[in-house]
Amino acid sequence: MKGVIDDKVRELRELIATAIDRLHDLTETIGHSGLSATIIDLKDRIEEPFMFVIVGEVKAGKSSFINALLETETDICKVAPSPMTDTIQQILYGETAREEIINPYLKRLFQPVEILKEIAIVDTPGTNTIISHHQEITERFIPGADLIVFIFEAKNPYRQSSWEFFDFIHEDWRKKIIFILQQKDLLPENDLAINMEGVQKQAKEKGIANPIVFAVSAKQEQEGLIQQSGYLPLRSYIHEKVTGGKAPVLKLESTVGTALSIAYKIKDGIDIRQKQYETDIVFREDIRARLTSRPPSLMTR
Ligand SMILES: Nc1nc2c(ncn2[C@@H]2O[C@H](COP(=O)(O)OP(=O)(O)O)[C@@H](O)[C@H]2O)c(=O)[nH]1
Ligand SMILES: [Mg+2]
Structure confidence by residue, pLDDT tens digits, 180-230: 999 999 999 999 999 999 999 999 999 999 999 999 999 999 999 999 999
Higher pLDDT, 128 or 237: 237
pLDDT above 90 (res 237): yes
Q: Structural domain of residue 179, as residue ranges? A: 48-245
* Mean pLDDT of the region 132-149: 79
CA dist., res. 94 & res. 152, Å (int): 30
To test the pocket of ligand 1, the residue of 65, 79, 128 to mutate (highest count of ligand atoms within 8 Å of its CB) is 79
Q: Whose CA is nearest to atom 14 of ligand 1?
A: 61
Percent above pLDDT 90 for the chain: 49
Ligand 1 site: residues with CB under 6 angstroms? 56, 58-64, 79-80, 126, 182-183, 185-186, 217-219
CATH number of the domain encompassing residue 129: 3.40.50.300
What's the gap in Å between 77 CA and the centre of ligand 2? 7
Cα 220 to Cα 225: distance, rounded to the nearest angstrom: 5
Do 145 and 49 touch, CB atoms closer than 8 A? no
Q: How far is the CA of 241 from the centre of ligand 1 (A)?
A: 27
| Structural domain contains residue 154 | yes
Which pLDDT score, from 0 to 100, does residue 220 have?
A: 97
User: Does 24 fall in a domain?
Assistant: no
pTM for the predicted model, two decimal places: 0.84
pLDDT of residue 133: 63
How many Å lie between the centroid of ligand 2 and the Cα of residue 41? 24
What mean pLDDT comes out for the span 7-12?
88
| Mean of all residue pLDDT scores within the chain | 88
User: How many domains, the chain?
Assistant: 1
- Ligand 1 atom with the smallest distance to the CA of 58 is 19
* Residue 95: other Cβ atoms inside 10 A: 8
Task: Give the number of whichever ligand sits closest to the CA of residue 218.
Answer: 1
- Give the closest residue to 161 by CA, choosing from 54, 55, 57: 57
In a domain, 28, yes or no: no
Least confident interval from 67-81, 165-179, 287-301: 287-301
Q: Tell me whether residue 268 is in a domain.
A: no
Tell the residue nearest (CA) to atom 11 of ligand 1.
59
| Percent of the chain surpassing pLDDT 70 | 92
Task: Give the model's pLDDT for residue 129.
Answer: 59
With respect to residue 18, please indicate whether it lies within any of the assigned structural domains: no
Task: Please give the pLDDT value at position 84.
Answer: 58
pLDDT tens digits for range 88-131: 899 999 999 999 998 888 899 999 999 999 899 999 887 765 55
| Residue 109 maps to a domain | yes
Cα–Cα distance, 239 to 246 (Å, whole number): 9
Q: Among 37-51, 77-91, 260-274, which is the least confidently predicted range? A: 77-91
The pair phi, psi for residue 213, each rounded to 5°, is: -125, 130
Residue nearest to atom 28 of ligand 1 (CA): 183
Q: For a pocket test of ligand 1, which of 149, 183, 221, 228 has the largest count of ligand atoms closer than 8 A to its C-beta?
A: 183
Q: Let me know if residue 262 belongs to a domain.
A: no
In a domain, 52, yes or no: yes
